[in-house]
Amino acid sequence: MNFNEQQGLLDKDNKCYILLSSDNSGRVMRLSHRALISMLEPEVKKKTIWNNYSIYPSLQDTHEDVRDDPETICTRAFPLFAKGWEYAQKNKKHQLILNALGFKGYIRDVFMSAIMRKTDFVPESVNQPTEFKSLFSSLMTDSDQWQKHTLKDKHYANLLTMLELKEASESDKSKIFFCLSAIFANISHSNVFYGIPDASKILKRYAFALLAKAYSLDESMISSQTFNTYKTVLLDFNNLSNEEANQLRISSLYRDMVRYAQYRFSKVLSEWTPDAWL
């Protein structure tokens, strides 16, 4: 094969790789060094191009370009890229969640730090407390009466649109919102939020709003007793003033939610739980 005649797929140093398919089809993939690395190790803030390669029927037949969807290519024909593909799809989900929340700039960076379990550096902003609180007040109705503590209709509709859940069944939506509730419950005691007053309380209350939505969509998803137990923790009904005790309760709650989801809908949990937490 004369790689120098191929345009758009080579690095400036002309390094190119040929990979053999593992599905016994005889197909081969040709891609540049840069494309290989980006597909093996996709980055959070850089968009990976998942079709920057060529597929041929065999080493001998290099004239016909065989096209398949990137997911099939990366997870079946060339599973070397399966882990990178799954990571990128999961990261895409988390980015869409942050889009639905309307998070930009430093707040988005803070949440990505929490999701990725990075605690080394958090951008500073003089508007942290007011911006954080006002953002969440636009997403949920905060009430001392738990029955009225809900996601706002506009935000719920936005989540369904952003996460492509409009056509999903109520049961599937319920499972996903349960997993989202677990995620926000877990990050509510992340170190990255320590500089923001009431951040932990706000995040726990948002986690409850997600849980309440999950329960309203499918009341068979969890028992009323379990729902009430989670509600007590997320809404601080026991009114614990000790921060360490609160963190322990949230950690215990998260582990319990994960165990429950692993038993009932492990695939959904795996699709939405950040890789850094696994």
What value does the mean pLDDT take over residues 43-59?
83
Please report the domains of the chain, with CATH numbers, ordered by start residue.
3-81 (3.40.1850.10), 102-277 (1.10.4140.10)
pLDDT band, residue 217 (cuts 50/70/90) = very high
pLDDT confidence of residue 219: 95
- Is it the case that residue 43 has pLDDT exceeding 90? no
b or e along 158-171 (b: 16 or more beta carbons within 10 Å of the residue's beta carbon)? bbbebbeeeeeeee
CA–CA gap between residue 268 and residue 278 (Å, rounded): 14
pLDDT digits over 159-211, tens only?
999 999 999 999 999 999 999 999 999 988 887 777 787 888 899 999 999 99
* Section 19-24 average pLDDT: 89
Question: Per mean pLDDT, which range of 8-22, 28-42, 74-88 is the poorest?
Answer: 8-22
List CB contacts of 278: < 8 A, sequence separation 6 or more: 270
Residue 144 has a pLDDT of: 73
Tell me the Ramachandran region of residue 241: left when phi exceeds 0, alpha when psi lies from -120 to 50, beta otherwise: alpha
pLDDT in tens, 235-248: 887 665 566 677 78
- Averaged pLDDT, 104-123: 71
Q: How confident is the model at residue 1 (pLDDT cuts 50, 70, 90)?
A: very low
At residue 127 the predicted structure's pLDDT band, cuts being 50, 70 and 90, is low
Asked if residue 143 has pLDDT above 70, the reply is: yes
Residue 111 has pLDDT above 80, yes or no: yes
| pTM for this entry | 0.78
pLDDT at 33 over 80: yes
CA dihedral 89, 116, 252, 262 (to 10 degrees): 20
**What is the C-alpha to C-alpha distance for residues 43 and 178, in angstroms, rounded to an integer?**
27
Q: What percent of the chain has pLDDT over 70?
A: 85
Q: Determine the straight-line distance between the first and last CA of the chain, rounded to whole angstroms.
A: 42
Per the CB < 8 A criterion, the answer to whether 226 and 159 are in contact is no
Q: Are 82 and 75 in contact, with CB atoms under 8 Å apart?
A: yes
- What pLDDT, on a 0 to 100 scale, did the predictor assign at position 74? 92
Mean pLDDT over all residues of the chain?
Answer: 84
The pLDDT of 13-40, averaged and rounded, is 87
The whole-number pLDDT of residue 117 equals 64
pLDDT value of position 140: 93
pLDDT (tens digit, 9 = 90+) per residue, 74-101?
999 999 999 888 888 888 888 888 898 9
